[in-house]
Structure 1
């Protein structure tokens, strides 16, 4: 099942489900703002209900199933990554900071040289 391609054919019913899911999520957000006079709990419940209905509709669509398969595969690939040790991460960070410092000094020096050449030698403004 892991290496089987995901069916990505969008039928009109699938598009309707996605549209309804978007509408449900938007309705939850709109309900949150329209219920401004109500308590925070009521407003939050309206928002969460709209989002849950939207997620539920997406879950049953082909697009949602494709996204779930993609997410599972991404998690599986993330587990295969060899993460650096703390020592390696600190060394890499030190190299990056060192490089940034060297580049900052280089750009500052270049700026000062160009300033001297342009303003003092060419234009003669700083006499």
Structure 2
């Protein structure tokens, strides 16, 4: 009996997801079809339809998993210890310094290789 209920639930979920996708595609199509209408009205219509499509999608198993994932992600982001302004500035300055040092080293390597190639090909001075 559970297998039958799962099959009906998954079929209903598929119908809901298909309806949500069809609504989104229809909204995008209408956005461009009514190009002569006010941009504000077209954007509001697109956003309203997207909201309805997301509400329909949230009623499916996939939508519930996605919402759960988003809630867990938000919780994890709140646990992150963000660097202070001073730490960020110091790290940025270190990165700039290393970029300058590597640029100078690569320039010196390039000059050396240019000198070596000219010497080997007989084009030197």
TM normalised by structure 2 equals 0.82
Partner of 1:122: 120
Q: What does residue range 23-62 of structure 1 map to in structure 2 within 5 Å?
A: 23-62=22-61
TM normalised by structure 1 equals 0.81
Partner of 1:17: 16
Q: Measured at CA, do residues 125 and 15 of structure 1 come closer, stay the same or move farther in structure 2, by a change above 3 Å? A: farther
What CA RMSD, in Å, does the superposition of the two structures yield over aligned residues?
Answer: 1.8
The answer (yes or no) to whether the contact 1:59–1:65 under 8 Å persists in 2 is yes
Q: Deviation string for 1:54-106 (max 9, x for gaps)?
A: 11111111111111111111111111111111111111111111111111111
Q: CA deviation at 1:126?
A: 5.5
Larger relative helix fraction: 2
Q: Measured at CA, do residues 110 and 33 of structure 1 come closer, stay the same or move farther in structure 2, by a change above 3 Å? A: same
Q: CA deviation at 1:48?
A: 2.0
Alpha-carbon distance in structure 2 between the residues aligned to 1:52 and 1:77: 26
Partner of 1:70: 69
Q: Measured at CA, do residues 110 and 16 of structure 1 come closer, stay the same or move farther in structure 2, by a change above 3 Å? A: farther
Partner of 2:4: none
Q: Which runs of 5+ in 1 are unaligned?
A: 1-9
Partner of 1:104: 103
Q: Which runs of 5+ in 2 are unaligned?
A: 1-8
Secondary structure of the corresponding residue to residue 84 of structure 1 = coil
Alpha-carbon distance in structure 1 between the residues aligned to 2:48 and 2:74: 28
| Number of residue-to-residue matches in the alignment | 117
